[in-house]
Amino acid sequence: FPNQYTEQEAKKLGVVGWVKNTSQGTVTGQVQGPEEKVNAMKSWLSKVGSPSSRIDKTNFSNEKEISKLDFSDFNTRY
């Protein structure tokens, strides 16, 4: 379960949201939290990832400021 590492990192950093593996062999998800914590998570996703992952590229889109969080924790969707 490679996404368990993503969940652990998100919880350690204090961000909320979700992550999901796609049928194309990629990962999609949503991260919310204070900007500096979201940026730390983006850096981890771009450079580290789970031990069994291979990171070819990352693409972060639809970034925006929000007034309240839509999620209360971080989890893996199936």
Residue 3 has pLDDT above 90, yes or no: no
Higher pLDDT, 1 or 10: 10
- Return the pLDDT at 25: 86
Q: What is the CATH number of domain 2-76?
A: 3.30.70.100
Tokens of 46: 């771009």
- Condensed to tens digits (0 to 9), the pLDDT of residues 31-45 reads 999 999 999 999 999
- Condensed to tens digits (0 to 9), the pLDDT of residues 42-72 reads 999 999 998 888 899 999 999 999 999 999 9
For the chain, state the CA radius of gyration: 12
Q: Which residues pair with 16 in a beta bridge?
A: 32
Tokens of 43: 């850096």
- Return the pLDDT at 34: 96
What does residue 77 show for φ and ψ, rounded to 5 degrees?
-100, 150
